Amino acid sequence: MASEPQKIHKHILYEASVQDTEVDLNLIDRMMEKSAGRKALTLREDFSGTSVLACAWVESDPQRESWGVDLHGPTLDWAREHRLPMLGNDAERVHLLEDNVLTAKTPLVDVVAALNFSYMIFKQRDQLKSYFQSVYNSLTPGGIFLLDMFGGPHAQEVMKEKKRVPAGEDYEGTPFPEFTYVWEQAEYNAVTQDIICHIHFRGKNIVPIKKAFSYEWRLWSLMEITDILREVGFADVDPYFEGWDDETESTDGDLQIREKYENMLAWICYISAAKGMN
């Protein structure tokens, strides 16, 4: 007999579909070693949502402390209820702030991370520059700003892309069945580079969630981002791209700084912006 579709919270489905804190932590260690020759101890996760990176940060080292900043109170409350308790006493080293990343005040940190393209909410150059400037001012000498971006011809197309997410357990140990993550690029305006995207979750095992998350962004280019980061003072701005595996005809998971990259139909890269040591 077929079982009833399960109602799984959208935050659990989101984290399982798009977040991988192990990859992020690994990359941050490499970037900080390159920039400052030491391990980073403090991290601010901007646009933190359920703040899983801020949680993984304190779990990765007893000396580490983190701040998560997000405008949306209910999402932070969900993190306080479902993510922080898993940390036990380590939760004392995570500080969640309901605030705007443009104005939030935190102590100086070694790392600021703004992942899953969240900064693209700033569509005006002055606004993005002011955000990058405030990040620069929040970093310790040699500190790094980690962000990501997507591009390639497919990024400008109205389209839907599906990914099967295998059954697993969330951070709290809640099991979820196999489901489908759908990334929809619903509108793209070639004049302004404005893009409207939605995330849907579906599959026979879960109660589907249409438009679980929606984003209105500007699709910035890598050189636009790089130029603004340099303008606000970042000494080194390095893009990390995965290589290509001819045998599997997919990316190989090997994130390296690359000066030149084939314009694949769709790509994602991480950017490390390092503050100089002086």
Ligand X SMILES: C[S@@+](CC[C@H](N)C(=O)[O-])C[C@H]1O[C@@H](n2cnc3c(N)ncnc32)[C@H](O)[C@@H]1O
How many residues are recorded in the chain? 278
For residue 270, the one-letter residue type is Y
Q: Which is nearer to ligand X, 69 or 229 (CB)?
A: 69
Nearest approach, Cβ of 46 to ligand X (angstroms)? 7
Helix (H, G, I), strand (E, B) or coil at 92: helix
The pair of three-digit structure tokens given for residue 22, joined into one six-digit string: 């192990």
Provide, rounded to whole angstroms, the least separation between the CB of residue 263 and ligand X.
Answer: 25
Contact set with ligand X (CB under 6 A): 18-19, 47-49, 69-72, 75, 100-102, 115-116, 118, 121
**Are 271 and 157 contacting, i.e. CB atoms less than 8 angstroms apart?**
no
| CA geometry: angle 241, 246, 252, nearest 5 deg | 35
Q: Which is nearer to ligand X, 36 or 50 (CB)?
A: 50
Nearest approach in angstroms of CB 213 to ligand X is 7
Residue 105 per-residue DSSP state: -
- Minimum CB distance to ligand X smaller for 101 or for 128: 101
What span, in angstroms and rounded, lies between the C-alpha atoms of 96 and 190?
37
Nearer to ligand X, 19 or 272 (CB): 19
Q: Which two tokens stand for residue 60?
A: 């990765």
Query: Nearer Cβ to ligand X, position 36 or 209?
Result: 209
HSE (side-chain half, CA atoms, 13 Å) at 212: 20
Shortest Å, Cβ 106 to ligand X? 12
The least CB distance from residue 96 to ligand X, in Å, is 12
d(CA 269, CA 275): 20
- Which residue's CB comes closest to ligand X? 49
